[in-house]
């Protein structure tokens, strides 16, 4: 005689039989929880690995520096400040960086040594300013200064990028439109014109020949353009290529003046911020050279360091360097005579920031009509060249009268 067991399945069993009686097993909610936990753990490990080489945007570093300076000014301990910033930071990778820096400090390391472990996240200027703040005991004040410097740099960079976005987008759209016309539209007109059996006008024939060439060699041209871009990148990565690039950019007819002014402003602002914070002049020149991203400034800083170590003045080197304008040389010389070089440098930086903003505004107002004219000439020229045979239909078709 068979007995039917009324014992229920154990609560801790890994699966329960489906109520449909089909014998299928449905996973418990705990399985989904474990899967989510595994995914979260894998993501956390990926972020941990990425944190070692994470490059923090300058805007995010400016916000972090300003918040840290505010918390330190309020009287909170450094470890507690970092813990608060770790909790409110939205970037998961940077949160790990802050956590590791906090742990290093809790274990007895200095703040400067802790941030040195993450040179991609904290640039040379930030690390040097932290060292100066620790040495002088005014870390909050110095961090406030460097935060203002970062914010001004980000503000100027955003203005330049916003001014460049419009012309680049318009030019890219024009190039794409012209390629579409040449590859897809003009061949339709060419087939129609072939039925006329007469010689086409020179502009029309040129466009048809150009269209045939692009259709036959499009992939070769695209590959050649990519190869040329790759070779150019490799060349620019070399010291000689980098020098050629920087010298060419500064001498560019439209944007060269703007690039020059931005480089001068960055040089003056960085120099003044570091000197005012108590960083030694030779170390200041090293940081200014690395932060400038211009070979002209790097050469000047190396020459200034050599000249100053021999008892010379900064203004003497600037006076002999054509990269620096006369106004800047006189301002620095006046600062040296009054013992206020950093103040004069800040005034020069303010002047060139204002000049850069004015240049960006003027370029924006100038580029817009130029782009409109450019588009009108290119696109309108193509349209006129293709409709020219139709306008001269009698002559093209064989001189019907």
| Model pLDDT for residues 137-180, shown as the tens digit of each residue | 888 888 998 898 888 888 888 888 887 787 888 888 888 888 88
Would 40 be classed as within a structural domain? no
Residues 117, 162 share a domain: no
Beta bridge partners of 17: 25
Residues 261, 115 share a domain: no
* Cα–chain center distance at 71: 29
* pTM exceeds 0.85 for this model: no
Would 285 be classed as within a structural domain? yes
Residues 326, 195 share a domain: yes
List the structure tokens of 209.
Answer: 């020949």
**According to the model, what pLDDT value does residue 32 have?**
65
Residues 199, 101 share a domain: no
Would 52 be classed as within a structural domain? no
Would 235 be classed as within a structural domain? yes
Measured CA to CA in angstroms, residue 53 lies from 48, 99, 156, 290, 380 at distances of: 10, 15, 26, 19, 50
The number of folded domains in the chain is 2
Residues 310, 396 share a domain: yes
The CATH number of whichever domain residue 211 belongs to comes to 1.20.81.30
Residues 250, 323 share a domain: yes
Domain of residue 83: give its range.
58-122
Contact 54, 121 (CB under 8 A): yes
Say what angle helices 124-136 and 139-180 make with each other, to 10 degrees: 170
pLDDT means over runs of 10, the chain (401 residues)? 42 44 51 71 77 87 92 91 90 90 91 90 88 84 88 84 81 85 85 74 86 86 91 90 90 85 89 86 88 88 90 87 89 88 89 87 81 84 82 55 46
Euclidean distance between CA atoms 321 and 298, whole angstroms: 12
């Amino acid at each position: 005689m068979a007995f039917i067991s009324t014992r229920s399945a154990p609560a801790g069993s890994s699966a329960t039989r489906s109520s449909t009686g089909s014998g299928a097993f449905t996973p418990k909610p705990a399985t989904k929880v474990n899967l989510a936990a595994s995914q979260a753990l894998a993501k956390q490990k990926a972020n941990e690995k990425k944190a070692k080489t994470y490059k923090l945007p300058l805007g995010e570093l400016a916000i972090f520096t300003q918040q840290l300076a505010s918390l330190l000014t309020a009287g909170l301990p450094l470890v507690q400040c970092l813990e608060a910033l770790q909790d409110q930071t939205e970037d998961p990778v940077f949160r790990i960086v802050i956590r590791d820096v906090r742990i290093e400090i809790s274990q007895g390391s200095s703040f400067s040594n802790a941030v040195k472990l993450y040179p991609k996240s904290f640039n040379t200027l930030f690390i040097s300013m932290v060292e100066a703040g620790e040495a002088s005991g005014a870390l909050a004040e110095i961090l406030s200064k460097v935060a203002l410097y970062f914010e001004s740099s980000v503000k100027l960079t955003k203005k330049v990028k916003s001014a460049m976005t419009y012309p680049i987008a318009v030019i890219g759209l024009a190039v794409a439109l012209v390629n579409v016309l040449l590859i897809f539209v003009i061949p339709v007109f060419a087939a129609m014109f072939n039925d006329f059996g007469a010689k086409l006008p020179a502009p029309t024939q040129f466009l048809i020949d150009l269209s045939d060439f692009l259709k036959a060699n499009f992939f070769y041209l695209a590959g050649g353009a990519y190869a040329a871009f790759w070779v150019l990148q490799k060349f620019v990565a070399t010291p000689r290529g980098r020098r050629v690039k920087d010298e060419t950019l500064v001498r560019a007819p439209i944007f060269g003046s703007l690039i020059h002014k931005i480089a001068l402003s960055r040089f003056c602002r960085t120099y003044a911020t570091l000197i005012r914070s108590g960083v030694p002049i030779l170390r200041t020149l090293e940081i200014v050279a690395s932060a400038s991203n211009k070979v002209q400034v790097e050469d000047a800083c190396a020459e200034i360091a050599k000249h100053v170590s021999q008892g010379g003045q900064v203004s003497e080197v600037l006076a002999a360097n054509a990269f620096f304008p006369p106004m800047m040389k006189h301002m620095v010389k006046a600062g040296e005579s009054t013992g206020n070089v950093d103040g004069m440098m800040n005034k020069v930086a303010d002047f060139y920031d204002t000049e850069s903003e004015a240049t960006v505004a003027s370029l924006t107002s100038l580029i817009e009509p130029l782009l409109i004219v450019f588009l009108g000439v290119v696109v309108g020229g193509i349209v006129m060249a293709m409709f020219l045979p139709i306008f001269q239909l009698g002559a093209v078709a064989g001189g019907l009268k």
